[in-house]
Amino acid sequence: MMDRYTKLQLVGIYAALAVFLTFILLPFFEMFMASLRPLEHLFRSPYQFWSDDFSLQAYKDMWVTVPLLGRYIFNSIFIATSVTVITMVFVVPAAYAYARLEFPFKNMSLAIFLGVNMFTGAVLLIPLYRVLRTMGLLNTYWAMIVPGVAFLIPTGIWLLRSYLEKIPRELEEAAFVDGASRMYTLRRVVLPLAVPGLIVVSVAVFIGAYAQQFLFAITFNQTRELQPLPAGLFEFIGYQSVTWNEMMAAALVGVLPVMLIFLFLQKYLVAGLTAGAVKE
Amino acid sequence: MAELSAQASQPAANTRKRAMSENLFGWMLVAPAMIFIAVIVAWPLTETIRLSFMDAGLGGEEFIGLENYQDLADSRKFHQTVIRTFYWMFLSVGIKLIMGLIGATLLNAAIPGRALFRVLVMPPWVIPVAIGCIGWLWLYNGYFGVLSGVMMKLGITDGPFEFLAYKSSAFYSAVVTDVWVGTPMVTLFFLAAMQGVSRDLYEAAWVDGAGRWYRFRRITIPQIMPVIVSMALLSAIFTFNSFEIIWILTEGGPRSATTTLIIDTYKVAIGNYKFGEGAARAVVIVVLLAVFSLIYLFLLNKINKRYGAK
């Protein structure tokens, strides 16, 4: 009863939603439309809402205009995957410790981790540049992976910790009482139970790692072959003109991997990411 | 008597032993992550502070005391950049919070299709910011972009309008794009919080004849206040630090109209290799953010107490 809307209210809600979603989706729609039009029709002024010669040509030509495009997409996925694996190696033990154990400076050290979220790479670029140079990592994949890991560890710990806290303690305590070592309990009891949480956090870290590459790429890497897609896309901006249609096509192809992962897992992801917002 | 105390001390010693191993084990698990952060974040941070007292460039370093800070304090341009950054932050975060509240309320309504709508809100959150910005670059294009096209059709402008070519339109265009990037996350957190509000509260109010608006103001808002407040801080930090959006759209131009502290720091340090001057700017950013966050957390604490949050 309480949830029933009058016809007018329903119309209002849908109209407001339409405006809201238009704002959110307009760039994607326009990118898609641009990717379907031949360049010379794109360059017609005034703007035309409809063309009669839509084609998928840009999706073929883009590989020729920017020959390394496939490599850029591979690099993006490769960097994001490496960042995810390395981040999780650091995150899993730490998140377990924060969820279950009591140790000195626990809250303080957790606060330090979360404090990292306050800085972006941009603030630390100068010394980071020098650290990476000293380590000989500039212009390698590591130059984009290492800082990526550092900035995702805190979020990973935070997300996984809240998931682990929801797993009942009894099983661990039973294993512990039976004489299992702490390490054994962590590996054989806790981790198997935490698999759904591990997946959600890994995917969240992957999406983050896929999204954050631009700054590190343009600052720490000059090697063209190693560039991730967000940086490589700018090669469509030539000296003479911009091949907008191919750039949009490439951008859409480039977001496809994360969009697909996200669509399949969105229910769990959103629940996992917003867990902190709902206190039980 | 002696027997009893011997028995009693046995478990106590056991507990102590376990406690010690728990301390050690806890740190063993946390240490790798801590060391990584120390090398990649904490150490560079101290380096930044050291460099800020240096005249440092590609050539070398020379200690010059507070000169870099003195230059910033004397520079009118820098003052404007600070003010612009805070204006950028407050404006963008304010709009994001309002959009988030509206969006979450709409998506929380019990209407057919809402599961689909909820998914449709998310893409800007998921995709790389840099790629979303390329889309906006296209939208803002004066000759071929849809926004200028619609404005011409409606007769708002006579000719093509280049959104990113004029000082104030470039600034507000960047704000719109930043809002676009940030709104989905805010919306989804608000939605999650709204779904956590007990239905009993609404039903009780409804039985008493409270209308929707009243229920929104008196139940929803107070109940989700802790989430609103923490999202405000989180988006403030993100927005303050936002780099890619402005860099891709305008690189801080035209004529510095979109230069925020982050952009300024990047240009000085990485663009012009003035490491010392850049470091001083970075330190200013860190200090401003820290002060802002502390004030904010203080207020958060008060608000949480007022609304009796757990």
CA distances A144 to A92, B164, B262, Å, are 22, 30, 20
- What is the per-residue pLDDT for A45? 61
Most confident of B13-27, B29-43, B85-99, B211-225: B85-99
Give the model confidence (pLDDT) of A132-168 as tens digits: 888 899 999 999 999 999 989 998 998 898 888 888 8
B254 CA: distance to closest CA in chain A (Å): 19
Report ipTM for this prediction. 0.86
What pLDDT does residue B1 have? Answer: 41
Distance from CA of B130 to the nearest CA of A (A): 6
Listed residue (A45, A65, A26) closest to A235, CA to CA: A65
| Rounded distance between C-alpha atoms, residue B122 and residue B90, angstroms | 23
Q: Which CATH number fits domain A68-277: 1.10.3720.10, 3.90.1170.50, 1.10.287.610, 3.40.50.2300?
A: 1.10.3720.10
pLDDT score, position B186:
93
pLDDT at residue B16, as a whole number: 54
Contacts of A149 in chain B (CB under 8 A): 36, 40
Q: Mean pLDDT over residues A230-247, rounded? A: 84
| Pair A160, A95: CB distance under 8 Å | yes
**What pLDDT sits at residue A135?**
86
What distance in Å separates the CA atoms of residue A99 and residue A167, rounded to the nearest whole number?
A: 10
State the residue for tokens 């490491």. Answer: B275
How much is the pLDDT for B308? 57
Sorted by where each begins, the domain ranges of chain A are 68-277
Residue B63: strand, helix, or coil: strand
pLDDT one-digit tens code per residue, A252-262 = 998 888 888 88
Map out the domains of chain B with their CATH numbers: 76-306 (1.10.3720.10)
> What would the 3-class secondary structure string for chain B be?
CHHHHHHHHHHHHHHHHHHHHHHHHHHHHHHHHHHHHHHHHHHHHHHHHHHCCECCCCCCCCECCCHHHHHHHHCHHHHHHHHHHHHHHHHHHHHHHHHHHHHHHHHHCCCCCHHHHHHHCCHHHHCCHHHHHHHHHHHCCCCCCHHHHHHHHCCCCCCCCCCCCCHHHHHHHHHHHHHHHHHHHHHHHHHHHHHCCCHHHHHHHHHCCCCHHHHHHHHHHHHHHHHHHHHHHHHHHHHHHCCHHHHHHCCCCCCCCCCCHHHHHHHHHHHCCCHHHHHHHHHHHHHHHHHHHHHHHHHHHHHHHHCCCC
pLDDT band at B92 (very low <50, low <70, confident <90, very high): very high
Q: Report the pLDDT value the prediction gives residue A280, as an integer from 0 to 100.
A: 42
Q: With bands split at pLDDT 50, 70 and 90, how would you rate the model's confidence at A1?
A: low
Shortest distance, CA A219 to any CA of chain B (angstroms)? 8
pLDDT greater than 50 at residue B6: no
pLDDT at residue A278 in the model:
57
Please name the residue of chain B whose CA is at the shortest distance from the CA of residue A270: B188
Q: Give the model confidence (pLDDT) of B173-228 as tens digits.
A: 999 999 999 999 999 989 988 988 888 888 888 888 888 888 888 889 988 888 89
**Is 0.80 surpassed by the pTM of this model?**
yes
- The amino acid sitting at B14 is N
The tens digit of pLDDT for each residue in A19-47 reads 999 999 999 998 998 888 887 777 766 66
Q: Which of B22, B30, B193 sits opposite A277 (nearest CB)?
A: B193
Minimal C-alpha gap between A208 and chain B (Å): 8
Residues of B in contact with A35 (CB under 8 A): none
Q: How many residues would you count in chain A?
A: 280
pLDDT at res. A274: 75
Query: Which amino acid is located at A107 in the chain?
Result: N
Mean pLDDT throughout A106-128?
82
Facing residue for A219 by CB, picked from B149, B152, B270: B270
Best probe of the B interface among A6, A19, A24, by most B CBs < 10 A, is: A24
pLDDT of residue B14: 54
Give the pLDDT confidence score for residue B310 in this predicted structure.
42
Find out whether B71 and B276 touch, Cβ atoms under 8 Å.
no
Mean pLDDT, to the nearest integer, of A107-131? 82
Q: Which residues of B touch A211 (CB under 8 A)?
A: 126-129
- Phi-psi group of A175: left, alpha or beta (phi > 0 → left; psi -120 to 50 → alpha; rest → beta): alpha
